[in-house]
Amino acid sequence: MNKLRGWILISFLSVGLLVAQFALASLPNVELVSLLFILYSLFLPLSSTLIVSLLFTLLQMLLWGMGDWVIGYMWIWPVWVILIYLFKPLNKKNPERWALLSGVWGLFFGFLFSVHHGVLYGFSTMIAYYVRGISFDIIHAVSNYILTSLAFTPLANVICRLARQYQGELYESHD
């Protein structure tokens, strides 16, 4: 894939994350972003997926404004991407394994944000943030598990078909 096509793809995928996040914004901690990162990671190299995560955060900042959460997203989403790549050899394209990992990520995401707040504002803030947010983390975990269980296979099939059309005969999965 040439560089221009690669940057166009990364841009569209980043905007796709933003649209998916915005579409479910009225439902607290219910999101498709975690699932889409899994799917992107199955079809893109690590460097491209990391760029998508950073561009996604920048787009969110443009939409929602700058806050301490932007700094958190700048390192927490890349952590998710790296975890996905670490689990790719074990999970392959098994929806149940990805659903389980995505559910665990829902809990871990809140913990990482509490650590982020602890670094910025102190240990007591970290504990307060974590305790206050555990109910939202549970919702995040359950919704990630359910959404990934239901949507992984159909979305993977669509993305695979689109990747073949986009890249033609040169398409190679990054399993």
Instruction: Report residue 92's pLDDT band, with 50, 70 and 90 as the boundaries.
Output: confident
Q: How many whole angstroms separate alpha carbon 103 and alpha carbon 88?
A: 16
Question: Would you list the domain boundaries of the chain?
Answer: 3-168
Q: Which fold has domain 3-168?
A: Arp2/3 complex 21 kDa subunit ARPC3 (1.10.1760)
pTM over 0.85: yes
**pLDDT tens readout for residues 101-157:** 999 999 999 999 999 999 999 999 999 999 999 999 999 999 999 999 999 999 999
Instruction: Report residue 167's pLDDT band, with 50, 70 and 90 as the boundaries.
Output: low
For residue 66, the Cα-to-chain-centroid distance in whole angstroms is 20
